[in-house]
Amino acid sequence: MVKRVAVSFIVCGVLAVITASCSGYKDKPAVSPAPDKTSTHEFRSPSTVKPQLPEYVWPLTGIKAAAVSTNRPFMVMVNNAPQARPQSGLSYADVLYEILAEGEITRLVAVYQSKHWDGPIGPVRSIRPYYIDLGKMIDAVPVHAGGSPDAYAELSEQKLEHMDEITNAGPFFWRDANRKAPHNLYTNLEHLEAGTRKLGIRESSRNLRAQPVFVTEMVEAHENRLTRINVTFLLDSYVVSYQYDPESRLYKRFINGAPHLDLSNNEQLSATNVVVIGAEHITLDAEGRRNIGLIGSGKGYLFQRDKVQSVRWERADKQDIFHYYQENREIAYYPGTTHVLVVPNNPTFEGHIQIIGHKKN
């Protein structure tokens, strides 16, 4: 297994754009770039303490790293049907998105870069255009099994590099005989890295972008402590919850009241930062395929430590990342894993979220 290394990002609020090149994912010495003193962005840290970071951090988590690298993340489409749970490898993802696919079914998009993990990832499912857009934010390699006609058209017309079990990368996936298709297709990072070399996929990122700023670990006192978040998408019978654990300072993930476990290690999925945003959902055809508006702006909630903040999310174009603002100040992430849930705006954004034990800011 190839050892992965990380990217250094400046805490001044400027997006890091990676332009260096490397061969594969091998450790290489690097010089930390000088801070950009021309930035006009103003960030709101979750504390009044001035944020400081180690010299090198992983760009998607803000966690300290030994060196700088430009390895592209893998973005894997993961089945979230009841028959697919518990999934494998989700606890090793740096970022996890949950977004509706067809009808009332959600799909998970797991992004891998910083963690060493040899085990299975999946079950792998098909891709949609708005999932492709998420990959463009971080120059990720999309990994999927099939896709909608519009997704295939976008991949082809824009000549986007990707790994598809059906069309170009079958040998780098396998099926588990203990589960029924289509809930039994898996891959792993070793297979994906071998696949990129075999298919000639670019391994070095050209525009890997991170959350604009991370803040250091610190203790905060709040008068009202957040205890639980309940999120519904379309089905009342499918409820995603996050319970705050003050000891680990993590949000533990549940589905319909039961811990959402990773089959690989029997650990409950968790996140340091949880974001819930609202977006326009438009149904396109009788199959229930939809367009989801992930460019522009909208309402959101950002959950960190035991605190919830009402935010406005903004994203200028397909290459831009999500930015979160409160009172025109961009809010920082804490170092760690981030989960982002996208719910419809209809009938109201707020109607999809129940927040227990804390007054919303």
Given a cut of 50, whether residue 25 has pLDDT beyond it is no
Given a cut of 50, whether residue 11 has pLDDT beyond it is no
Q: Give the separation between CA 331 and CA 321, rounded to whole angstroms.
A: 13
Query: What burial class does residue 111 get, using C-beta atoms within 10 Å of its C-beta: 0-12 exposed, 13-18 middle, 19+ buried?
Result: buried
Query: pLDDT tens, 148-191?
Result: 999 999 999 999 999 999 999 999 999 999 999 999 999 999 99
Given a cut of 90, whether residue 23 has pLDDT beyond it is no
**pLDDT score for 269:** 99
Quickly count: other Cβ atoms within 10 Å of residue 145's Cβ.
Answer: 24
Query: pLDDT tens, 223-241?
Result: 456 789 999 999 888 999 9
Do β-strands 141-144 and 163-164 pair in parallel, antiparallel, or remain unpaired? parallel
**pLDDT score for 79:** 97
Q: Taking residues 67-94, what's their average pLDDT? A: 94
Given a cut of 70, whether residue 209 has pLDDT beyond it is no
Q: Give the separation between CA 352 and CA 273, rounded to whole angstroms.
A: 19
Q: Give the separation between CA 26 and CA 31, rounded to whole angstroms.
A: 16
Residue % of the chain over a pLDDT of 70? 79
**pLDDT score for 111:** 97
Given a cut of 70, whether residue 358 has pLDDT beyond it is no
Q: Taking residues 118-137, what's their average pLDDT? A: 96
Do β-strands 95-100 and 106-112 pair in parallel, antiparallel, or remain unpaired? antiparallel
Q: Give the separation between CA 359 and CA 5, rounded to whole angstroms.
A: 40
Given a cut of 60, whether residue 105 has pLDDT beyond it is yes
Query: pLDDT tens, 282-338?
Result: 988 888 788 899 999 999 999 998 899 999 999 998 888 999 999 889 999 999 999
**pLDDT score for 50:** 53
**pLDDT score for 54:** 59
Residue 357: band (very low, low, confident or very high) from pLDDT cuts 50, 70, 90: confident
Going through 207-337 in order, the beta strands assigned E by DSSP cover: 228-232, 239-245, 250-255, 258-259, 270-271, 273-279, 281-283, 290-292, 296-304, 307-315, 323-326, 329-331
- The answer to whether 271 and 251 have CB atoms below 8 angstroms apart is yes
Look at residues 263, 246, 103, 238 and name the one whose alpha carbon lies nearest to residue 183.
Answer: 263
Of 79-83, 101-105, 153-157, 305-309, least confident by mean pLDDT is: 101-105
Please identify, in words, the CATH class of the domain defined by 74-357: alpha beta
* Eight-state DSSP code of residue 87: P
**pLDDT score for 7:** 41
Given a cut of 50, whether residue 26 has pLDDT beyond it is no
Residue 68: band (very low, low, confident or very high) from pLDDT cuts 50, 70, 90: confident
**pLDDT score for 250:** 96
Domain ranges of the chain: 74-357
